[in-house]
Amino acid sequence: MADTNPIKQFEIHEVAPLEIAGLNLAFTNSAFFMLLATVSVTLLMALATNKRALVPGRGQSIAEILYGFVADMVRSSAGNEGLRFFPFVFTLFIFILAGNMFGMFPYLPLPIPGVDNHGFTITSHIIVTLTLSMMVMAIVVGFGVYKNGFKFLKLFVPAGVPPILYIIVTPIEVISFLSRPISLSVRLFANMLAGHILLKVFAGFIVMLGAAGAAWGIVGILPFAMVIGLTALEFLVAFLQAYVFAILTCIYLNDALHPAH
């Protein structure tokens, strides 16, 4: 019977082994999909903008809509000052979006023979999403301290609180601040992981019912309908989670720009 293991899609395979100083730095299928996302986005943007027509064509329209969408997002949550982080937010958004969307291919063969081929969603691994969110926090803390100096610590000492309450409020603010990168990464990772497992579980039911023989194959229409619905939902989630990640990045960057609010 066909393999219906729903978590096989998250397996990491080495594509090109590489070991430096005892560290396993092999080029994996995860790295391949990150490269695919980066290269395809770069190509799309380069192709879309190389004409620079006054009246945009189809490709240029996509690039302009994406630019306008992210620029509005940055401006509405971090103000015009936040636009200096536009390249960072745009890169994050488009990388996560491309990674999520490439993950929607159920079967995407790697161009290397002899490697186990299956689709892969880079954002379904917490190490990837946590790295992205730690990058955001490093910029928030780094830029916040660089721009505001010690005033950045005002973030943990909100104004208008009776002095005695700082014993409780400051630790709460610190915990709240430290929980940000985790909630940012866990939300993206959990959404992608859960959605893709659900998709494969229902797809597995179709195979199992088909293999059960006789009239059971007809019952397989039910999980098939479910898979179609879930696929549509997953496309929505893929976009929505990239959007949520980017907009929360903007909100956190706003704290670095204006720590006392």
Would you tell me which residues interact with other proteins (CB under 8 A)? 76, 168, 171-173, 175-176, 178-179, 182-183, 186-187, 190-191, 236, 240, 244, 251
For other proteins, the closer of residues 48 and 70 by Cβ is: 70
> Residue 6: what residue type?
P
Nearest distance in Å: CB 186, other proteins: 6
DSSP three-state, residue 160:
coil
Nearest distance in Å: CB 200, other proteins: 20
Residue 134's Cβ-side half-sphere holds a number of Cα atoms within 13 Å equal to 6
CA dist 228 and 223 (Å) reads 9
For other proteins, the closer of residues 203 and 237 by Cβ is: 237
For other proteins, the closer of residues 15 and 192 by Cβ is: 192
Q: Which two tokens stand for residue 55?
A: 């009246």
Nearest distance in Å: CB 97, other proteins: 16
For other proteins, the closer of residues 48 and 248 by Cβ is: 248
Beta bridge mates, 28: 14
Question: What's the DSSP call for residue 6?
Answer: T
Nearest distance in Å: CB 175, other proteins: 4
The widest CA-to-CA distance across the chain, in whole angstroms, is 75
Nearest distance in Å: CB 249, other proteins: 13
- DSSP strands (E only) in the chain: 14-16, 19-20, 23-24, 27-28
Nearest distance in Å: CB 28, other proteins: 28
For other proteins, the closer of residues 33 and 82 by Cβ is: 82
Sign, CA dihedral 104-242-123-86, equals positive
For other proteins, the closer of residues 36 and 190 by Cβ is: 190
CA dist 185 and 132 (Å) reads 8
- For residues 77 and 250, is the Cβ–Cβ distance under 8 A? yes
